[in-house]
A and B are shown apart, each in its own frame.
Chain A
Amino acid sequence: MASEAVIPITTDIDVVAARQKGRELATVLGFVSTDSTLLATAISELARNIIRYARYGEILISSVQSGERVGITVVARDKGPGIANISLAMQDGFSTSGGLGLGLPGVKRMMDEFHLVSDANRTSTACLWQWSTGWGMANRRLRQPILLSPH
């Protein structure tokens, strides 16, 4: 399968498609099922945010390799209202989850790495990497990490 996919996000059906892509890639890379679930959860939360706050956006899912490690990068992009205060958005209780630790802070805790950028053009980009902990199938050669730049 292709190691990169771009899924436009406008409805709940698209969320399912994005999760599906993430899970397929996770299976190819030999992710253990717990990690696949965490990845699907993160995709759900990011896609939820797009639908709720921006209405339209896209999610890019691709494999990355760094040395011996392989992992998955998810980039969520939208042209919504932007995030006026990133540090505030990363505080528990800021989002609609009512302080339950879901939303972006929750995603951050699920993933190995997480970055959030919101620039003057009102584009939010959440990039995250999750490294495979199941090394069984990790020997296949994958292309180099994609370069992530704020949009």
Chain B
Amino acid sequence: MEKLEDQYTAALRDSIAGKGESSLQQAYELGRRALADGLGVLDMAAMYHKALTACLSRHSTPEETELMLRAGASFFAESRSPFEMTHRGFRETNIGLRHLNQTLEQEIKRIAHALHDEAGQLLASVYLALEEVAGNLPPAREHLLKVKGLLDLIEGQLRRLSHELRPTILDDLGLLSALKFLAEGVAARTGLLITVEGDSELSLPPLLSTTLYRIVQEGFTNVTRHAKATQVNVTIQHELQTLRCSVKDNGIGFDVSSLSARIGDRGLGMIGIRERLNSLGGSLSLVSTPGQGTELVITIPHTNSLES
């Protein structure tokens, strides 16, 4: 099979020679093939430049050169059109993910509210009913006290979960305090030893702190589910114009290359995180080796307005 590059040059030559629509259709088909072969827009620009250089003649008059360049521009646009299609698809997907994240935040707020307020009110009714039963059945009072003790635990747990879901502490006291609160809850439930370190003076815009909170939350979930770790260290550092957040565990680790291919299958968590990071210009990386723990590192460009 003739090389893509040679075919591209031959088709461009046809286009410059005035073969019109058939050469433009060919440009489109070649662009489609290039896309399927994994070439990028810069590769296409380089291929075009090379082909055009090969086609231009030194003996052309300025008028001829102008006509050639005009034909070449149409050819170039046609061969880039499949990339435009995929680009639009990517943009659409990203917008969809953003909406999904916004819906998710609203849903989290709703669930947090239901846990805190609605379940709380129901529990209050149960307390009243228990009091009534205790009044009517004095011998049962001791048993009922035990039940009340359990209900107290449930109420505490529900309140904590609702605060973890959408922590008002994030808005009031900032990211570090919110993460410490989250870590306490996760540690209490899982037995993990968790430390959270960072600059307590760090002041971040709400979108940034919510994003980092959600990422660390997802990180804790992954450690709990997969890592078999005993210890997790979270650090947040502001270095020059970058915010760096690391969630590091001492668990079993894994082969990163085998996970990356399946990242789309790992539920909404990671996909959602990627979109949140994309919209902030941030990036995420996983560093792990089997047997040597895992580190999730997030970097987001950020200039602290106090420092700038």
Contacts and interface: CB of A to CB of B under 8 A. Distances in A.
B78 A109 contact: no
B263 to A, nearest CB: 15
B197 to A, nearest CB: 42
Contacts of B21: 16-17, 19-20, 23
Interface in B12-61: 20-22, 24-25, 28-29, 32, 35-36
Contacts of B74: 33, 37
Contact of A20 (B20, B84, B88): B20
A119 B227 CA distance: 52
B28 A40 contact: yes
Contacts of A40: 24-25, 28, 78, 81
B89 interface: yes
Interface string B140-151: 000000000000
A43 B84 CA distance: 15
Nearest to A17: B21
B36 A97 contact: yes
A15 interface: yes
Contacts of A34: 77
A98 B36 contact: yes
Interface centre among B29, B78, B85, B86 (most CB of A within 10 A): B85
Contacts, number: 68
Interface string A5-38: 0000000110111011001000000000110011
Nearest to B35: A100
Given A37-B78, A101-B86, A101-B88, A44 B36 contact: no
B122 to A, nearest CB: 41
A21 B53 CA distance: 31
A106 B85 contact: yes
Contacts of A106: 82, 85-86, 88-89
B92 interface: yes
Interface residues of A, number: 25
A106 B81 CA distance: 11
A134 to B, nearest CB: 16
Nearest to B86: A101
A38 B25 contact: no
Nearest to B29: A44
Given A33-B77, A38-B81, A92 B89 contact: yes
Contacts of A105: 89
A13 B21 CA distance: 10
A100 B84 CA distance: 11
A102 interface: yes
B18 to A, nearest CB: 14
Contacts of A60: none
Contacts of B92: 109
Interface in A102-130: 102, 105-106, 109-110
A109 B85 contact: yes
A105 B90 CA distance: 12
A41 interface: yes
B25 A109 contact: no
Interface centre among B25, B28, B86 (most CB of A within 10 A): B25
B85 A16 contact: no
Given A16-B25, A19-B21, A44-B25, A101 B81 contact: no
13 contacts: A17-B21, A33-B77, A38-B84, A40-B28, A92-B89, A98-B36, A100-B35, A100-B82, A100-B85, A101-B85, A101-B90, A106-B89, A109-B89
Interface of B: 20-22, 24-25, 28-29, 32, 35-36, 74, 77-78, 81-82, 84-86, 88-90, 92
Given A41-B81, A100-B86, 9 more contacts: A12-B25, A16-B25, A37-B77, A37-B78, A40-B78, A44-B28, A101-B90, A106-B82, A106-B89
| 10 shortest interchain CB distances as A-B pairs | A101-B89, A106-B85, A109-B88, A20-B21, A41-B81, A101-B86, A16-B22, A37-B77, A16-B25, A16-B21
